[in-house]
Amino acid sequence: MGKYKNSKFYIIIAAALGGLLIVVLAFAAKSWQSRGGKLDVIYIPKVQDNSDFWGSLALGAQAAAKEYDINLKIAGPSSEGDVEKQNEIIRQSIEERPDAIILSPCSYTESTEAAKQIVKAGIHLILVDSSMEEPLGETLVCTNNTEAGKKLGELLRKYLPEDPVIGIVSHVRESSTAMEREKGLREGLEGYEDRILPAVFCDSDYDKAYKVTQQLLEEHPEINAIAGLNEYSAVGAARAVKDMGLEDEIVMVGFDSSLEEIQLLEAGIFKGIVVQKPFNMGYLAVQKSVEVIYNTAVDPTVDSGSEEITKGNMYTEENQKLLFPFLAK
């Protein structure tokens, strides 16, 4: 009983300290404002669209910006694979001289040089969602994608048929999230390494995901399990499987969530999905940007979390908040 009371005491203290930090940072931001202006932060996502993931991440960032009373500008390319456009936006953002830039790099390799220029310009750099080949940025706020991929693999293996042949429909080649999720997926499918085909990529485009899945199934009709590694790839792959009349023959799991993906889960097309917490991710990214601006020590990596959702647990209150973040706010 004493141990329980001590644990409860530490939880209360931790919560109080967390609340105090928010108050202190908000006060610091307002003090800065009284001396001549608000803090300026620019968030550059991989893509600026209305998808559930990126839209919810932006909502989280905007909620934190309102709480800390800072100016937040969001500017990103119109497609997730457009590294050149994102690099151009990075260069333009540097010229605006914000206090911090929050970046979701499009590419593990090709975003590095542009990101280096942020640091060289003396602007605080915070990474969110994805990392790069060099350890840039004062902190990285993200899902532990290797662990989330492993969850997906372990989920899939529960439903594998006796003689599995597994296809992977991924999103953007050379992005850290794609590489880490595939690594985790393969770890979760340990023992089935020789049953997994090389991944195909859709560049986070529904139509391309549909086409590459269709082509994959035509070339490998023996496939009886598919994992989609983000919302675009999962939904596009599921559409192809449905249109080919193979939904009763192929076991599917997916990543992220959208209304269509949730409907596919309810219909049994997906046996389960792994859902990130993008609202948390966006909120924490802005919070950490304020912390680094005021020289508060931050952890090099902040895990925003992920959850495994199945038809059996999708209706719990907590999972409903994850699946319908726009309604929960």
Q: Are residues 153 and 266 in the same domain?
A: yes
Whole-angstrom Cα distance, residue 57 to residue 329? 12
Domain of 153, CATH number, reads 3.40.50.2300
Q: Are residues 90 and 41 in the same domain?
A: yes
Whole-angstrom Cα distance, residue 2 to residue 7? 9
What is the biggest distance separating any 2 CA atoms in the chain, rounded to whole angstroms?
68
Please check whether residue 322 lies inside any domain of the structure.
no
Q: Are residues 134 and 178 in the same domain?
A: no
Please check whether residue 241 lies inside any domain of the structure.
yes
Contact (CB, 8 A) for 300 and 269: no
Q: Are residues 122 and 155 in the same domain?
A: no
Please check whether residue 253 lies inside any domain of the structure.
yes
Q: Are residues 158 and 97 in the same domain?
A: no
Q: Are residues 266 and 156 in the same domain?
A: yes
Please check whether residue 323 lies inside any domain of the structure.
no
Whole-angstrom Cα distance, residue 302 to residue 110? 23
Q: Which amino acid is at 160?
A: L
Contact (CB, 8 A) for 42 and 96: yes
Note the Cα 205 to chain centre separation in Å: 16
Whole-angstrom Cα distance, residue 247 to residue 233? 16
Which of left, alpha, beta for 146 (phi over 0: left; psi -120 to 50: alpha)?
Answer: alpha
Q: Are residues 150 and 266 in the same domain?
A: yes
pTM over 0.75? The answer is yes
**Secondary structure string (H, E, C) spanning the chain:** CHHHHHHHHHHHHHHHHHHHHHHHHHHHHHHHHHCCCCCEEEEECCCCCCCHHHHHHHHHHHHHHHHHCCEEEECCCCCCCCHHHHHHHHHHHHHCCCCEEEECCCCCCCCHHHHHHHHHCCCEEEEECCCCCCCCCCEEEECCHHHHHHHHHHHHHCCCCCCCCEEEEECCCCCHHHHHHHHHHHHHCCCCHHHECCCEECCCCHHHHHHHHHHHHHHCCCCCEEEECCHHHHHHHHHHHHHCCCCCCCEEEEECCCHHHHHHHHCCCEEEEEEECHHHHHHHHHHHHHHHHCCCCCCCEEECCEEEEECCCCCCHHHHHHHCHHHHC
Closest CA to 255 of 168, 166, 130: 168
Rounded average pLDDT per 10-residue block, the chain, 329 residues? 47 50 51 64 93 90 97 96 96 98 97 98 98 96 97 98 98 95 98 98 97 99 98 98 98 95 96 95 98 96 96 92 68
Q: Are residues 96 and 192 in the same domain?
A: no
Q: Are residues 282 and 269 in the same domain?
A: no
How many other CB atoms sit within 10 Å of the CB of residue 283? 22
Q: Are residues 136 and 35 in the same domain?
A: yes
Strand partners, 302: 141
Q: Are residues 176 and 285 in the same domain?
A: no
Give residue 47's domain range.
Answer: 25-143+277-298
Q: Are residues 87 and 161 in the same domain?
A: no
Please check whether residue 20 lies inside any domain of the structure.
no
- How many domains are there within the chain? 2
Closest CA to 230 of 159, 180, 266: 180
